[in-house]
C-alpha cells in the first residue's frame, strides 16, 4: 500500500509555479527527493506535512485527505523542516519534551522514556541538559532528527536532514534512517547523491516543479550508461577536471571515447543538464520573471488601505487649502499636506516587515505541523486565521501557537 499518493499537484507563489502537475507515490521504505535549488522539494515536503495546501490536484497521506483529516495525519507524522525554529533558551531534553507534549503525549513517564530513546538514537544523551543556543549546527540538526522520531510515526518527512553533519554523524544518520525505513515510510529531500545511493530504495528527481525521473537508484545510474567518459580536455555537455588531471565528461560520447562506469550523480546531471549545477535555474528565472514580480509587488503595496487613505487625505487637504487661500505667497500645500500622508508610510512598511517576519516564523518552522499547534491554515497563511492577509488581531488570534512555558 502506498503511504503517499500525489496526483497532478500544482502550487504557485505569485507568478512562479513551484509545483507544476507533480505526480508520484511513496510506500514503506526510504524515498529520496533529489533536485536543484528551487525545484520544489521543500514546497512538496511542507505540503506532505500539512503546512501548505495545493492549489489544485490531490494528495492522500496515510490513506487520509489532508484537507479534511489534517489532525489525524499529524498524529501519525514526524517532520523535520529545513528551519526547525528552535527555542534557544531550552535545553535539549526540554525542547524534545516540549515537542512531545505538542504531539499529545500526555503520560509524563512514557513521554520522558520516549524522549530519552530518541536522544540516544541520535547520540545526544550526554547533552540532554545543554542549552540549544550552545550547540553547534550539526548538533542542532540531530536534535531536529530526534524530535521527528518521537512517538514512532508512520510517516517521517526530512528536509535536508544531513546538512551540517560531519562524515561520522552522516554515517550514523544513514544507519538510523535505514533502520527506521524497514517499518515505516520515510521521505527525505537532499542534494547529496551519495545519501540517495546509501539510503533510498526509490528516488524522484525534480526539475522545475515536475518529476523528471522516478525509479530506483540503479535505474537512475543506468540513465548515463555509455555517456560518461574521460579525456584530456573538455568535450562533453557537462565536464569537470578530476584529481588525476583528466576531464570527466557527460553527454553523447564520441566514437573513440574512453567510457567509464556511470554513477548516480552522472545520471542526475545528465537528466537536468545546466539546471543541476544551478546555471540553467538562474537563467530561467532571472531575466524575465524578476521585473514582472517587482512590478506586481509594487502594485500590491500601492493598493494597500493605509497608502490609499494617506493619499486621499493628501488630495482633500490640498484642495481645501487651494480653495480657501490664494494670496500673494505661493501655496505650500503640496509640502505641508504631504506631511499628512508620509507619517503613515513608515507605519505601513513596519507592518509589512512584521507580517513577513511572522510568515517566516510560522510557515517553515516545525510547530506548524504538530497536532496541538493551530498554526497553518492550509491556505499558505501561517500564524493567522487566514480570513485576511492583514489581520487586526496580531498576537491575539487563536491561530497562533501557545508560547512555550518558561
Tell me the domains of the chain and their CATH numbers.
Answer: 4-213 (3.40.50.300), 221-283 (no CATH)
Which pLDDT score is estimated for 385? 43
d(CA 227, CA 139): 40
Cell numbers at residue 20, please?
A: 507544476
358 pLDDT more than 90: no
Tell me, what's the pLDDT at 386?
A: 40
Cell 513608515 appears where? Answer: 346
DSSP 291-331: HHHHHHHHHHHHTSHHHHHHHHHHHHHHHHHHHH---SSPP
User: Cell 530519552 sits at which residue?
Assistant: 116
Mean pLDDT of 38-54: 89
Task: Please name the residue that has the C-alpha cell 535555474.
Answer: 281
Per-residue pLDDT, 93: 93
**Do the strands 202-207 and 77-80 form a parallel or antiparallel pair, or are they unpaired?**
unpaired
List Cβ neighbours of 314 (8 Å cut-off, separation of 6 or more): 337, 338, 340, 341
Predicted confidence (pLDDT) at residue 380 exceeds the cutoff of 60:
no
Over range 319-336, report the average pLDDT. 53
Contact partners, residue 405, CB within 8 Å, separation at least 6: 98
* Cα–Cα distance, 233 to 242 (Å, whole number): 11
Beta-carbon count within 10 A of 347 CB: 11
Q: Which residues contact 396 (CB under 8 A, 6 or more apart)?
A: none
| pLDDT band per the 50, 70, 90 thresholds, residue 254 | confident
Distance CA 354, CA 344 (A): 15
* Higher local confidence (pLDDT), 334 or 311: 311
Confidence check: pLDDT of 187 > 90? yes
Under the banding of pLDDT at 50, 70 and 90, the label for residue 330 is: very low
Q: Tell me what pLDDT residue 368 has.
A: 61
Please say if the pLDDT value at position 97 is more than 90.
yes
Residue 402 in this model has a pLDDT that exceeds 60: no
Exposure string of 10-46, with b = 16+ CB inside 10 Å and e = fewer, is ebeeeeebbbeebebebebbbbbbbbbebbbbbbbbb
Highest mean pLDDT among 38-42, 109-113, 317-321: 109-113
* Percent of the chain predicted with pLDDT > 70: 71
How many other C-beta atoms lie within 10 A of the C-beta of residue 193? 21
pLDDT at position 326? 53
Handedness of CA 266, 271, 274, 276 (dihedral sign): negative
Q: For residue 50, what are the CA distances in angstroms to 21, 59, 67, 160, 161?
A: 18, 10, 8, 18, 19
C-alpha dihedral sign at 75, 6, 28, 272: negative
Cα–Cα dist 328/315, whole Å: 22
CA distance 146 to 400: 24
Q: In this structure, are residues 65 and 382 in contact, taking their beta carbons and an 8 Å threshold?
A: no
CA distances to 3, 79, 108 from 111, in Å: 26, 18, 5
**Spatial CB neighbours of 327, under 8 Å, sequence gap ≥ 6:** none
pLDDT band at 292 (very low <50, low <70, confident <90, very high): low
Most confident of 60-64, 274-278, 374-378, 397-401: 60-64
Compute how many other C-beta atoms are within 10 angstroms of the C-beta atom of residue 220. Answer: 30
| pLDDT interval class at 295 (50, 70, 90) | low
* DSSP, res 133: G
Least confident of 101-115, 267-281, 352-366: 352-366
207 grid coordinates: 526539475
When pLDDT is cut at 50, 70 and 90, the band that residue 165 belongs to is: confident
Work out whether strand 247-250 and strand 238-241 pair parallel, antiparallel, or are unpaired. antiparallel
pLDDT tens digits, one per residue of 218-227: 999 999 888 8
Task: Please tell me the distance from the alpha carbon of residue 88 to that of residue 406, in angstroms, as a whole number.
Answer: 12
Round the average pLDDT of the chain to a whole number and report it: 76
Least confident of 137-141, 144-148, 310-314: 310-314
Using CA atoms, how far apart are residues 293 and 392, in angstroms rounded to an integer? 27
At residue 288, the pLDDT reads 36
Amino acid at each position: 500500500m502506498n503511504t503517499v499518493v500525489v496526483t497532478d499537484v500544482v502550487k504557485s507563489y505569485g507568478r512562479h509555479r513551484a509545483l507544476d502537475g507533480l505526480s508520484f507515490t511513496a510506500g514503506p521504505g526510504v524515498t529520496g527527493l533529489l533536485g536543484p535549488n528551487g525545484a520544489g522539494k521543500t514546497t512538496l515536503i511542507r505540503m506532505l506535512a500539512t503546512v501548505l495546501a495545493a492549489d489544485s490536484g490531490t494528495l492522500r497521506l496515510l490513506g487520509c485527505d489532508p484537507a479534511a483529516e489534517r489532525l489525524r495525519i499529524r498524529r501519525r507524522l514526524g517532520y523535520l523542516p529545513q528551519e526547525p525554529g528552535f527555542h534557544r533558551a531550552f535545553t535539549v531534553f526540554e525542547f524534545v519534551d516540549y515537542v512531545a507534549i505538542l504531539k499529545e503525549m500526555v503520560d509524563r513517564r512514557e513521554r520522558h522514556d520516549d524522549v530519552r530513546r530518541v536522544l540516544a538514537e541520535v547520540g545526544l544523551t550526554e547533552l540532554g541538559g545543554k542549552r540549544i543556543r550552545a550547540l553547534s549546527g550539526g548538533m542542532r540538526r540531530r536534535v531536529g532528527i530526534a524530535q521527528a522520531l518521537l512517538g514512532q510515526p508512520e510517516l517521517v518527512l526530512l528536509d535536508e536532514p544531513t546538512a551540517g553533519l560531519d562524515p561520522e554523524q552522516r554515517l550514523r544518520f544513514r544507519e538510523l534512517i535505514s533502520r527506521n525505513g524497514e517499518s515505516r515510510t520515510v521521505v527525505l529531500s537532499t542534494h547529496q547523491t551519495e545519501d540517495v545511493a546509501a539510503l533510498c530504495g526509490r528516488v524522484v528527481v525534480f526539475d522545475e516543479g515536475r518529476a523528471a525521473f522516478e525509479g530506483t537508484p540503479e535505474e537512475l545510474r543506468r540513465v548515463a550508461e555509455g555517456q560518461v567518459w574521460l579525456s584530456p580536455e573538455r568535450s562533453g555537455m557537462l565536464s569537470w577536471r578530476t584529481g588525476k588531471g583528466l576531464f570527466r565528461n557527460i553527454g553523447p560520447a564520441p566514437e573513440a571515447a574512453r567510457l567509464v562506469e556511470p554513477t548516480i550523480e552522472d545520471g542526475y546531471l545528465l537528466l537536468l543538464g545546466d539546471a543541476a549545477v544551478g546555471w540553467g535555474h538562474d537563467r530561467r528565472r532571472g531575466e524575465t520573471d524578476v521585473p514582472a514580480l517587482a512590478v506586481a509587488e509594487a502594485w500590491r503595496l500601492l493598493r494597500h488601505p493605509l497608502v490609499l487613505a494617506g493619499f486621499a487625505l493628501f488630495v482633500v487637504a490640498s484642495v481645501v487649502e487651494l480653495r480657501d487661500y490664494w494670496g500673494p505667497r505661493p501655496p505650500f500645500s503640496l509640502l505641508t499636506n504631504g506631511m499628512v500622508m508620509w507619517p503613515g508610510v513608515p507605519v505601513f512598511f513596519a507592518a509589512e516587515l512584521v507580517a513577513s517576519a511572522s510568515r517566516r516564523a510560522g510557515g517553515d518552522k516545525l510547530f506548524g505541523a504538530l497536532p496541538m499547534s493551530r498554526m497553518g491554515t492550509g491556505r499558505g497563511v501561517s500564524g493567522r486565521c487566514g480570513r485576511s492577509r492583514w489581520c487586526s488581531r496580531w498576537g491575539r488570534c487563536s491561530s497562533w501557537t501557545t508560547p512555550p512555558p518558561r
